[in-house]
Structure 1
Amino acid sequence: MSIPPHAPTIDTSDLILRGYREDDFEAMASFGASERARFVGGPQDQWSSWRAFLAGIGHWTLRGYGMWMVEHRETGQVAGRVGMIFNDGWHEPELGWHIYDGFEGKGYAYQACLAARSYSARHFGLDAVISYISPENIRSVALADRLDARFECEGELLGKPCHIYRHPREVNP
Protein backbone atom coordinates (compact mmCIF):
# COMPACT_ATOMS: atom_id res chain seq x y z
CA MET A 1 0.00 0.00 0.00
CA SER A 2 1.39 3.41 -0.98
CA ILE A 3 0.86 6.17 1.58
CA PRO A 4 -0.46 8.76 0.91
CA PRO A 5 -2.32 7.73 -2.24
CA HIS A 6 -2.41 11.28 -3.63
CA ALA A 7 1.39 11.75 -3.78
CA PRO A 8 2.15 11.93 -7.49
CA THR A 9 4.66 9.61 -9.11
CA ILE A 10 7.48 11.08 -11.18
CA ASP A 11 9.56 8.93 -13.50
CA THR A 12 13.11 9.77 -14.54
CA SER A 13 15.50 7.67 -16.58
CA ASP A 14 16.94 5.93 -13.48
CA LEU A 15 14.51 6.73 -10.68
CA ILE A 16 10.91 6.67 -9.54
CA LEU A 17 9.85 9.43 -7.15
CA ARG A 18 6.78 8.17 -5.29
CA GLY A 19 4.80 8.25 -2.07
CA TYR A 20 5.80 6.44 1.09
CA ARG A 21 5.35 2.72 1.77
CA GLU A 22 5.72 1.13 5.15
CA ASP A 23 8.54 -1.07 3.89
CA ASP A 24 10.55 2.12 3.07
CA PHE A 25 11.04 2.72 6.77
CA GLU A 26 14.01 0.40 7.21
CA ALA A 27 16.11 2.30 4.64
CA MET A 28 15.10 5.65 6.11
CA ALA A 29 15.90 4.52 9.67
CA SER A 30 19.27 3.18 8.56
CA PHE A 31 20.12 6.53 7.00
CA GLY A 32 18.81 8.38 10.07
CA ALA A 33 21.03 6.33 12.40
CA SER A 34 24.15 6.92 10.31
CA GLU A 35 26.72 9.66 10.58
CA ARG A 36 25.61 10.71 7.07
CA ALA A 37 22.43 12.16 8.67
CA ARG A 38 24.40 14.72 10.72
CA PHE A 39 23.38 17.56 8.39
CA VAL A 40 19.66 16.77 8.70
CA GLY A 41 19.25 16.36 12.46
CA GLY A 42 20.87 12.96 12.93
CA PRO A 43 22.14 10.57 13.85
CA GLN A 44 18.86 9.61 15.44
CA ASP A 45 17.37 6.59 17.17
CA GLN A 46 14.70 4.31 15.70
CA TRP A 47 11.83 6.17 17.40
CA SER A 48 12.98 9.55 16.03
CA SER A 49 13.26 8.02 12.57
CA TRP A 50 9.73 6.65 12.89
CA ARG A 51 8.44 10.11 13.83
CA ALA A 52 10.31 11.63 10.85
CA PHE A 53 8.83 8.95 8.59
CA LEU A 54 5.30 9.76 9.78
CA ALA A 55 6.01 13.49 9.50
CA GLY A 56 6.95 12.96 5.85
CA ILE A 57 3.59 11.32 5.23
CA GLY A 58 1.79 14.00 7.22
CA HIS A 59 3.51 16.78 5.28
CA TRP A 60 1.84 15.55 2.09
CA THR A 61 -1.51 15.47 3.87
CA LEU A 62 -1.20 18.91 5.50
CA ARG A 63 0.58 20.87 2.74
CA GLY A 64 -0.40 18.90 -0.38
CA TYR A 65 3.28 18.45 -1.25
CA GLY A 66 6.33 16.97 0.40
CA MET A 67 9.34 14.76 -0.03
CA TRP A 68 9.13 11.80 -2.35
CA MET A 69 10.74 8.46 -1.67
CA VAL A 70 13.36 7.92 -4.38
CA GLU A 71 13.36 4.39 -5.76
CA HIS A 72 16.13 3.12 -7.99
CA ARG A 73 14.34 1.87 -11.08
CA GLU A 74 16.67 -1.04 -11.88
CA THR A 75 17.00 -2.53 -8.38
CA GLY A 76 13.77 -1.37 -6.71
CA GLN A 77 15.81 -0.21 -3.70
CA VAL A 78 15.05 2.99 -1.84
CA ALA A 79 17.81 5.44 -2.80
CA GLY A 80 16.73 8.40 -0.66
CA ARG A 81 14.17 11.18 -0.30
CA VAL A 82 13.86 14.38 -2.31
CA GLY A 83 11.23 17.07 -2.37
CA MET A 84 9.66 20.12 -0.81
CA ILE A 85 9.63 20.82 2.90
CA PHE A 86 7.87 23.67 4.68
CA ASN A 87 8.09 22.86 8.37
CA ASP A 88 7.20 25.11 11.24
CA GLY A 89 10.01 27.64 11.60
CA TRP A 90 11.07 27.50 7.96
CA HIS A 91 11.07 30.89 6.18
CA GLU A 92 9.61 29.43 2.99
CA PRO A 93 9.39 26.06 1.22
CA GLU A 94 12.71 24.30 0.73
CA LEU A 95 13.95 21.79 -1.81
CA GLY A 96 15.65 19.15 0.31
CA TRP A 97 17.45 15.90 -0.43
CA HIS A 98 18.76 12.86 1.41
CA ILE A 99 20.55 10.26 -0.68
CA TYR A 100 21.15 6.94 1.03
CA ASP A 101 24.35 4.95 1.32
CA GLY A 102 25.40 3.28 -1.91
CA PHE A 103 23.52 5.71 -4.17
CA GLU A 104 25.61 8.85 -3.79
CA GLY A 105 28.06 10.01 -6.45
CA LYS A 106 26.01 8.60 -9.35
CA GLY A 107 24.02 11.70 -10.31
CA TYR A 108 20.80 10.40 -8.74
CA ALA A 109 20.41 13.37 -6.37
CA TYR A 110 20.79 15.76 -9.30
CA GLN A 111 18.30 13.81 -11.43
CA ALA A 112 15.76 13.56 -8.58
CA CYS A 113 16.11 17.22 -7.58
CA LEU A 114 15.60 18.44 -11.14
CA ALA A 115 12.45 16.33 -11.46
CA ALA A 116 11.06 17.34 -8.06
CA ARG A 117 11.87 21.02 -8.57
CA SER A 118 10.26 21.14 -12.01
CA TYR A 119 7.15 19.21 -10.92
CA SER A 120 6.74 21.34 -7.79
CA ALA A 121 6.98 24.59 -9.76
CA ARG A 122 4.46 23.48 -12.36
CA HIS A 123 1.95 21.67 -10.15
CA PHE A 124 2.31 23.18 -6.66
CA GLY A 125 3.31 26.75 -7.52
CA LEU A 126 6.60 26.32 -5.62
CA ASP A 127 9.05 28.12 -7.87
CA ALA A 128 12.46 29.67 -7.18
CA VAL A 129 12.55 27.84 -3.84
CA ILE A 130 15.41 27.80 -1.37
CA SER A 131 17.63 25.11 0.11
CA TYR A 132 19.06 25.36 3.61
CA ILE A 133 22.58 23.91 3.52
CA SER A 134 25.18 23.60 6.23
CA PRO A 135 28.35 25.31 4.98
CA GLU A 136 30.22 22.15 6.06
CA ASN A 137 28.11 19.93 3.79
CA ILE A 138 30.44 20.10 0.79
CA ARG A 139 28.49 17.54 -1.25
CA SER A 140 25.20 19.42 -0.88
CA VAL A 141 26.88 22.73 -1.71
CA ALA A 142 28.27 21.12 -4.88
CA LEU A 143 24.82 19.76 -5.77
CA ALA A 144 23.22 23.18 -5.23
CA ASP A 145 25.82 24.69 -7.56
CA ARG A 146 25.15 21.99 -10.15
CA LEU A 147 21.43 22.75 -9.88
CA ASP A 148 22.24 26.43 -10.61
CA ALA A 149 21.10 27.47 -7.15
CA ARG A 150 22.93 30.56 -5.92
CA PHE A 151 24.07 31.51 -2.45
CA GLU A 152 21.62 34.11 -1.17
CA CYS A 153 22.57 34.71 2.45
CA GLU A 154 23.66 33.25 5.74
CA GLY A 155 20.88 32.04 7.97
CA GLU A 156 19.97 29.82 10.86
CA LEU A 157 17.82 26.72 10.95
CA LEU A 158 16.92 24.87 14.12
CA GLY A 159 19.50 26.87 16.03
CA LYS A 160 22.36 26.06 13.67
CA PRO A 161 24.03 28.30 11.10
CA CYS A 162 23.28 27.54 7.48
CA HIS A 163 23.59 29.02 4.04
CA ILE A 164 20.45 29.71 2.06
CA TYR A 165 20.63 28.94 -1.65
CA ARG A 166 18.01 30.17 -4.14
CA HIS A 167 17.04 27.90 -7.01
CA PRO A 168 16.32 29.34 -10.45
CA ARG A 169 12.80 29.95 -11.64
CA GLU A 170 11.32 26.96 -13.50
CA VAL A 171 8.16 28.56 -14.83
CA ASN A 172 8.16 31.84 -16.73
CA PRO A 173 5.68 34.32 -15.17
Structure 2
Amino acid sequence: MTVDIPVIETDRLILRAPRIEDLDAMCGFYAEPRSRFVGGPIERGDVWRALLRSAGHWQIRGYGVWHITLRDSGAMIGHAGVLHHVEWPEPELGYAIFGAQEGKGLAHEATEAARAAAARHFGLTRLISLIDPANDRSRALALRLGAHFERDEIVKGHPCQVWRHPEIRGDAA
Protein backbone atom coordinates (compact mmCIF):
# COMPACT_ATOMS: atom_id res chain seq x y z
CA MET A 1 0.00 0.00 0.00
CA THR A 2 1.34 3.40 -0.88
CA VAL A 3 0.07 6.82 0.07
CA ASP A 4 0.78 9.97 -1.89
CA ILE A 5 1.81 12.48 0.77
CA PRO A 6 1.54 15.98 -0.67
CA VAL A 7 4.48 18.33 -0.25
CA ILE A 8 3.40 21.67 1.20
CA GLU A 9 5.56 24.76 0.68
CA THR A 10 5.46 28.11 2.46
CA ASP A 11 7.77 31.10 2.23
CA ARG A 12 10.31 29.61 4.64
CA LEU A 13 9.32 25.97 5.01
CA ILE A 14 8.71 22.69 3.26
CA LEU A 15 6.33 20.21 4.89
CA ARG A 16 7.02 16.71 3.63
CA ALA A 17 6.69 13.03 4.41
CA PRO A 18 8.59 11.52 7.33
CA ARG A 19 12.02 10.12 6.39
CA ILE A 20 14.58 7.92 8.12
CA GLU A 21 17.02 10.84 7.87
CA ASP A 22 14.82 12.68 10.39
CA LEU A 23 15.72 10.30 13.22
CA ASP A 24 18.68 12.27 14.62
CA ALA A 25 16.81 15.59 14.63
CA MET A 26 13.87 13.88 16.33
CA CYS A 27 16.20 12.30 18.91
CA GLY A 28 17.52 15.76 19.76
CA PHE A 29 14.00 17.07 20.30
CA TYR A 30 12.77 14.06 22.27
CA ALA A 31 15.79 14.31 24.60
CA GLU A 32 14.65 17.79 25.71
CA PRO A 33 12.41 18.19 28.78
CA ARG A 34 9.96 20.30 26.74
CA SER A 35 9.10 17.18 24.69
CA ARG A 36 6.97 16.08 27.66
CA PHE A 37 4.01 17.71 25.94
CA VAL A 38 4.24 15.19 23.08
CA GLY A 39 5.22 12.01 24.91
CA GLY A 40 8.88 12.62 25.75
CA PRO A 41 11.55 12.59 26.85
CA ILE A 42 12.22 9.23 25.26
CA GLU A 43 15.25 7.20 24.21
CA ARG A 44 16.45 6.62 20.63
CA GLY A 45 14.59 3.31 20.21
CA ASP A 46 11.31 4.92 21.24
CA VAL A 47 12.00 7.85 18.90
CA TRP A 48 12.48 5.30 16.12
CA ARG A 49 9.08 3.83 16.95
CA ALA A 50 7.58 7.34 16.98
CA LEU A 51 8.98 7.87 13.47
CA LEU A 52 7.44 4.58 12.37
CA ARG A 53 4.09 5.58 13.91
CA SER A 54 4.24 8.87 12.05
CA ALA A 55 4.83 7.12 8.72
CA GLY A 56 2.29 4.40 9.54
CA HIS A 57 -0.43 6.91 10.39
CA TRP A 58 -0.28 8.11 6.78
CA GLN A 59 -0.63 4.51 5.59
CA ILE A 60 -3.56 3.59 7.83
CA ARG A 61 -5.54 6.85 7.99
CA GLY A 62 -4.48 8.35 4.65
CA TYR A 63 -3.33 11.55 6.39
CA GLY A 64 -0.88 12.42 9.14
CA VAL A 65 1.79 14.83 10.24
CA TRP A 66 4.24 16.40 7.87
CA HIS A 67 7.83 16.82 8.92
CA ILE A 68 8.77 20.49 8.77
CA THR A 69 12.03 21.45 7.11
CA LEU A 70 13.68 24.80 6.55
CA ARG A 71 13.52 25.72 2.87
CA ASP A 72 17.06 27.13 2.82
CA SER A 73 18.88 24.27 4.58
CA GLY A 74 16.56 21.25 4.50
CA ALA A 75 17.00 20.80 8.26
CA MET A 76 14.08 19.10 9.97
CA ILE A 77 12.74 21.40 12.70
CA GLY A 78 9.43 19.88 13.80
CA HIS A 79 6.13 18.45 12.66
CA ALA A 80 2.59 19.64 11.96
CA GLY A 81 -0.47 17.87 10.67
CA VAL A 82 -3.43 15.76 11.69
CA LEU A 83 -3.42 12.76 14.02
CA HIS A 84 -6.34 10.55 14.92
CA HIS A 85 -5.17 7.87 17.30
CA VAL A 86 -7.80 5.40 18.48
CA GLU A 87 -7.91 7.08 21.92
CA TRP A 88 -8.46 10.58 20.46
CA PRO A 89 -12.02 11.93 20.44
CA GLU A 90 -11.61 13.17 16.83
CA PRO A 91 -8.87 14.25 14.40
CA GLU A 92 -6.36 16.59 16.03
CA LEU A 93 -4.24 19.33 14.51
CA GLY A 94 -0.92 18.64 16.20
CA TYR A 95 2.34 20.54 16.05
CA ALA A 96 5.79 20.83 17.57
CA ILE A 97 8.77 23.00 16.71
CA PHE A 98 12.21 22.05 17.97
CA GLY A 99 13.62 24.37 20.65
CA ALA A 100 16.23 26.25 18.60
CA GLN A 101 13.54 27.34 16.12
CA GLU A 102 10.99 28.64 18.63
CA GLY A 103 9.99 32.28 18.64
CA LYS A 104 10.39 32.83 14.89
CA GLY A 105 6.79 32.31 13.78
CA LEU A 106 7.67 29.00 12.13
CA ALA A 107 5.17 26.96 14.15
CA HIS A 108 2.38 29.31 13.08
CA GLU A 109 3.48 29.24 9.44
CA ALA A 110 3.72 25.45 9.36
CA THR A 111 0.54 24.73 11.29
CA GLU A 112 -1.54 27.15 9.27
CA ALA A 113 -0.26 25.49 6.07
CA ALA A 114 -0.91 22.00 7.47
CA ARG A 115 -4.46 22.92 8.52
CA ALA A 116 -5.25 24.33 5.06
CA ALA A 117 -3.71 21.28 3.35
CA ALA A 118 -5.70 18.90 5.58
CA ALA A 119 -8.90 20.61 4.46
CA ARG A 120 -7.93 20.79 0.80
CA HIS A 121 -6.48 17.31 0.37
CA PHE A 122 -8.36 15.22 2.94
CA GLY A 123 -11.59 17.07 3.70
CA LEU A 124 -10.58 17.55 7.34
CA THR A 125 -12.20 20.92 7.92
CA ARG A 126 -13.16 20.99 11.61
CA LEU A 127 -10.19 20.09 13.79
CA ILE A 128 -9.28 20.20 17.45
CA SER A 129 -5.97 20.49 19.24
CA LEU A 130 -5.43 18.55 22.46
CA ILE A 131 -3.30 20.77 24.69
CA ASP A 132 -1.70 20.00 28.03
CA PRO A 133 -2.95 22.66 30.49
CA ALA A 134 0.70 23.56 31.28
CA ASN A 135 1.68 24.07 27.63
CA ASP A 136 1.45 27.85 27.35
CA ARG A 137 3.22 27.98 23.96
CA SER A 138 0.81 25.53 22.36
CA ARG A 139 -2.19 27.35 23.75
CA ALA A 140 -0.82 30.69 22.45
CA LEU A 141 -0.39 29.18 18.99
CA ALA A 142 -3.92 27.75 19.04
CA LEU A 143 -5.25 31.20 19.91
CA ARG A 144 -3.18 32.78 17.13
CA LEU A 145 -4.69 30.25 14.73
CA GLY A 146 -8.18 31.33 15.82
CA ALA A 147 -8.99 28.33 18.03
CA HIS A 148 -11.12 28.60 21.14
CA PHE A 149 -11.24 26.55 24.33
CA GLU A 150 -14.04 24.00 24.14
CA ARG A 151 -13.70 21.68 27.12
CA ASP A 152 -11.44 19.75 29.48
CA GLU A 153 -10.96 16.07 28.73
CA ILE A 154 -8.92 13.09 29.87
CA VAL A 155 -7.05 11.41 27.00
CA LYS A 156 -4.98 8.30 27.69
CA GLY A 157 -5.19 9.08 31.40
CA HIS A 158 -3.86 12.63 31.04
CA PRO A 159 -5.81 15.84 31.51
CA CYS A 160 -5.90 18.01 28.44
CA GLN A 161 -7.80 20.90 27.01
CA VAL A 162 -9.71 20.58 23.75
CA TRP A 163 -9.28 23.65 21.57
CA ARG A 164 -11.52 23.95 18.50
CA HIS A 165 -10.10 25.48 15.32
CA PRO A 166 -12.31 27.51 12.99
CA GLU A 167 -13.86 25.43 10.24
CA ILE A 168 -12.06 25.71 6.92
CA ARG A 169 -13.81 24.85 3.69
CA GLY A 170 -11.75 22.37 1.72
CA ASP A 171 -12.29 24.21 -1.55
CA ALA A 172 -11.28 27.54 0.01
CA ALA A 173 -8.04 26.29 1.57
Q: Is the 8 A contact 1:5 1:19 kept in 2?
A: no
Deviation at 1:23, TM superposition (A): 0.8
Deviation at 1:101, TM superposition (A): 2.1
Q: In the aligned structure 1, how far is the partner of 2:58 from the partner of 2:36?
A: 24
Q: Is the 8 A contact 2:116 2:170 kept in 1?
A: no
Partner of residue 65, structure 2? 67
Q: Is the 8 A contact 2:152 2:161 kept in 1?
A: yes
Structure 1 residue ranges, 4+ long, deviating more than 4 angstroms after superposition: none
Unaligned runs of 5+ in 1: none
Deviations 1:44-100 (A, max 9, x none): 111111111000000000011000000011121111011000011111000000111
Partner of residue 168, structure 2? 170
Deviations 1:120-144 (A, max 9, x none): 0121111120000011000000000
Which amino acid counterpart does residue 82 of structure 2 have in structure 1? Answer: M
Secondary structure of the 2:41 match is coil
Secondary structure of the 1:161 match is strand
Q: In the aligned structure 2, how far is the partner of 1:120 from the partner of 1:75?
A: 25
| 1:95 paired residue among 93, 96, 111 | 93
1:9-158 counterparts in 2 under 5 A? Answer: 9-158=7-156
Q: Is the 8 A contact 1:68 1:81 kept in 2?
A: yes
Q: In the aligned structure 2, how far is the partner of 1:156 from the partner of 1:113?
A: 24
Deviation at 1:5, TM superposition (A): 6.3
Q: Is the 8 A contact 1:17 1:112 kept in 2?
A: yes
Q: In the aligned structure 2, how far is the partner of 1:29 from the partner of 1:6?
A: 26
Which amino acid counterpart does residue 39 of structure 1 have in structure 2? Answer: F
Match status 1:159 vs 2:157:
yes
| 1:8 paired residue among 1, 6, 17 | 6
Instruction: Give the % identical residues.
Output: 46
Secondary structure of the 2:109 match is helix
TM-score by length of structure 2 reads: 0.94
